[in-house]
Structures are given as structure tokens and as C-alpha cells.
Structure 1
Amino acid sequence: MKRVNLLAGGPVDQWASELATITTVPGQWITADRGTLRLLQQGVTPTIAVGDFDSITPAEKEQVLAAVSDIRSVQAEKDETDTQLALSIAFEELQADRVVVYGATGGRIDHFLANLFMAVEERFRTVLNRIEMRDRQNTIQFYAPGTYELTKEADKKYLAFIPLVPTTDLNLVDEKYPLTHFDTKVPISWASNEFIGEKAHFNFKTGIVAVIQSKD
């Protein structure tokens, strides 16, 4: 299974713990805007860097241009974020089986929401279950309709289920707080649920659901 890591420009203090030893993280890297500079500062060169690079200084941009062989420069005025473009390239060109997105949370809320709702875009519908977002406190995964088993992450306590679009017949089978045949026409967060054991199960008929494992 081919893993590609995507580093966006979110705050370093919100990075997932595995990035403390970033050179040992498996897989290729693709970066979005300021994420490129931050990856280079950690001693790792991305396969592809994407962005308008409007969030870094001219000197920092020169450093990026000198270090990265494949740079996809885009205009600042556009209909897609740099992270959206990088995610498309990860699947379409790098042929990722799985994309782990870092630096997509924290900082500006509008950026976080743009990243969270990438999964509902039509172009990502067929790969949404292969997108994962990680930060210091959270792991976010995305699901199309079906029946699923979740495995508890050792350092996480809480479990949340978030329908991102109109969703029908959501059932939380064996979580601490079960839910039966829930329908919603608007996004909603069923937060602060928990695993009872090491596994949990859920299912739903239509919609898209984000599942978050988190800790304080």
C-alpha cells in the first residue's frame, strides 16, 4: 500500500507526535505552501511542492525553489486551496493508496474547515476513506455509507461521529453512548463518545461521516 504524506501550513505546535522524528515517517511527501519550508527545515525534501507561497518571505521562497525539484506554482487568486490541489496530486499523480495529512488543523478556522470539508467534494468521493488527518490531539478519518469496525488508538480517549452532509440511518452499535437509526439533514457532531473495549462498530445508509479519535 502506497502511503503519501501531505504537510500543510498549520502550526508546528499542533503537529502529531510522530513528526518529532519526521525522517522516520514512511512514504513520500507532498507539501502545500508554508508546509514546504517547514518540511525542509526538518531535513526532508518533498517529492512535490504546491502553492502560491504567499505565506513565506522572498528569501524563504528562494530556499524552497533551490531545494525542491518539482514545484507546482499557482496563483494566489484561485478557487482551490493549496492543500486541495496537493491532495488531488497525491492521488492522481503519485497514485497514493492512502494520504495522511498533517498541518491541516489549528491556526485559522477557515483553513481547517476547508480541509475538513475536502472529503465531501465530488472529486474525492471515491477516495475519502483513504484520507486521514492527524494532529497532536486528533485523528480524523472519513467514511462513505457502509458497515465499519474501528480500532482504538492507544493514546486516544474520545470518539466523535460527525455527519458532514445529509446522512441517514446512522447506528453506533457498541460505543459507550449508542445511537440508533439517526437521520440528519445538516452537519452535526456527536462528540465525546468513547470505546468500551478495543473495537467499536458503526454503520449508516447514506451520507458522509467523519470519525475523530481524540485526547485532551
Structure 2
Amino acid sequence: MQNQKKEKVRVVNLMVGGPEELIPWDLVVAHRQEPWVAVDKGAVRLVKMGMVPDYALGDFDSSTKEEEKAVVKAVGRVRTFPPEPKDYTDTQLGIKAVLDHFDFEQVNLWGATGGRIDHFLNNLFLPLIAPFDQVLTRLCIIDRGNVVRYYQPGNYAIKKLPSMKYLAFVNLTAVKDMTLIDEKYTRLVQHWDSQVPVSWASNEFVGDVNHFSLGSGIVAVIQSRDVSADHSGQPE
């Protein structure tokens, strides 16, 4: 696998098996011309939509035999794993496949939120540990109402995405010298240090570009919005 020449792309997409109602299908379709990797139920849902992923993998324990056969028939490159023992989660297997096959600038992760909280937390913390830390600053988690990116020490300008109102800063590790510069609520986060994770939630953009700085540690920045039950779209 390591001797294989990787395909150089700007963006690669990874579909996993989280609740379908949280997936922004209009935006998924907008990315259909880009490379896709899909795991287990994620592969099933893409094939049903007529979007054949470049690679499919998983134990397919959440899919029927008929669904698995349809994936194998449609996708040229399928790798199956036994349900047990299982060293990696489905999302981890997907990220490993992305790293094995692509030289990329960004990986969009779909179907990774909702459902069981332990699964979501596993996905949120995934890029903090090796070998998945290779995607830390390139990983973007997307659902109907949220876009999550990860940041290491530095000075940053965060561009507001269309329709997104809220801007949260969540330190996933100990941090030092974190400063919110021009967000709506900044008073408490000035050269801020913490040894434990804290979610500075419900902040809001002031203008189309806001800034923050970080001395050390890792922070997840979440752009979000309120989503009504009858709305299935996601801004580009």
C-alpha cells in the first residue's frame, strides 16, 4: 500500500454511516464530481443515490447482504473486514483509506454526527491521535447545521460560511494564550489558558471575517446555525 502512487487532488470526501437526516444531501450532490471513499452504510447510501465511490470498505455489519452485494457490484475497489476483532472504527478505516490512496488538501467527512454520542465523540477526537493526526488541519466535518475545522497554534482569519450564524471555539487539549479578537463575545477569552476542554459556544460573527489566535494546543472551530426539521439543505 505504501508503494502505491497516490492520486493528487484538492478535496476528497468520506461518507460514513451516521443518521441520514443530518446529512446535507444537496451539498453532497454538489461534491459528486470529487473523489469519494465510503465505509459500510455510507457506501450503501452513495450507491443508492447513483454516486459510486472510488473506494468502499468496512465490515458491512450494519448493511443487509443484498446491500453489500450491490456495493460490491457497483464499486470496483471494495475491501471488507471481519466484524471482530475490530481494531479501528469505520471512520478510522475511512481516514486510513483516504491517506493510503490520495495526496489531498482537504477531506470532507459526512455522516459523522448524530446518533450515538460515543460515536460522535470518537469522530470529533479522531485527528488528535496517530496516525489520524496527519489530517488534523485538513479535516472538515459537515452536517446540516455545522461545519467543524481544527486549528493548531497561530493567528487565523475565519471566513463566515453562508447561512452560518454561530461561531464556537472548543479547545480539545490544554491551551495557552487563546484570544478571540473580534467576535461578538470576546471579553472572557483574552490570552486565555486552560488545562481542560471548554466550549465557548453561541458566539456570533461580527462581519464576514473574524479572527482568533492560539499560543499552544488544539482548538475545534465550529460554524453552526439553527436547522428546522423540514430543511435538508446546507450552504456551500
TM-score range (shorter-chain normalised) is: over 0.9
For residue 72 of structure 2, the aligned residue among 65, 69, 72 is 65
- Indicate conservation of the 8 Å contact 2:58/2:90, yes or no: yes
Alignment partner of 2:161 out of 153, 158, 170: 153
Structure 1 residue runs of 4 or more that deviate by more than 3 Å after TM superposition = 23-26
Residues 1:139 and 2:139 aligned together? no
Question: What is the aligned-residue identity percentage?
Answer: 45
Structure 1 letter corresponding to 2:172: L
Q: Which residue of 2 aligns with 1:83?
A: 91
Q: Which residue of structure 2 lines up, in the alignment, with residue 50 of structure 1?
A: 57
Point out the more displaced range, 43-52 or 70-79: 70-79
Are residues 75 and 28 of structure 1, via their aligned partners in 2, closer, same or farther at CA, if it must alter by over 3 Å? same
Residue of structure 1 equivalent to 2:205:
195
| Structure 2: runs of 5 or more not aligned | 1-8, 227-236
2: distance between equivalents of 1:72 and 1:13? 27
Deviations 1:149-170 (A, max 9, x none): 0001121100000011111111
- Distance in structure 2 (CA, Å) of the matches to 1:164 and 1:10: 22
Distance 1:17 1:154, change over 3 A: farther
Structure 2 Cα separation of the partners of residues 98 and 154 of structure 1: 19
Aligned-partner SS, 1:192: coil
- Tell me, yes or no, if the aligned pair for 1:4 and 1:96 is still in contact at 8 Å: yes
CA RMSD of aligned residues (A): 1.5
Which structure 1 segments of 5+ residues have no match?
none
Give 1:92 shift.
3.0
Q: What is the one-letter code of the residue matched to 1:80? A: Y
Partner of 2:44: 37
- Equivalent residue runs for 1:166-205 within 5 Å: 166-178=174-186, 179-205=189-215
Whether contact under 8 Å (1:23, 1:44) holds in the other structure is: no
Q: Distance in 2 between matches of 1:62 and 1:34?
A: 12
Instruction: Give the structure 1 partner of residue 81 of structure 2.
Output: 74
Deviation for aligned residue 1:23: 5.9
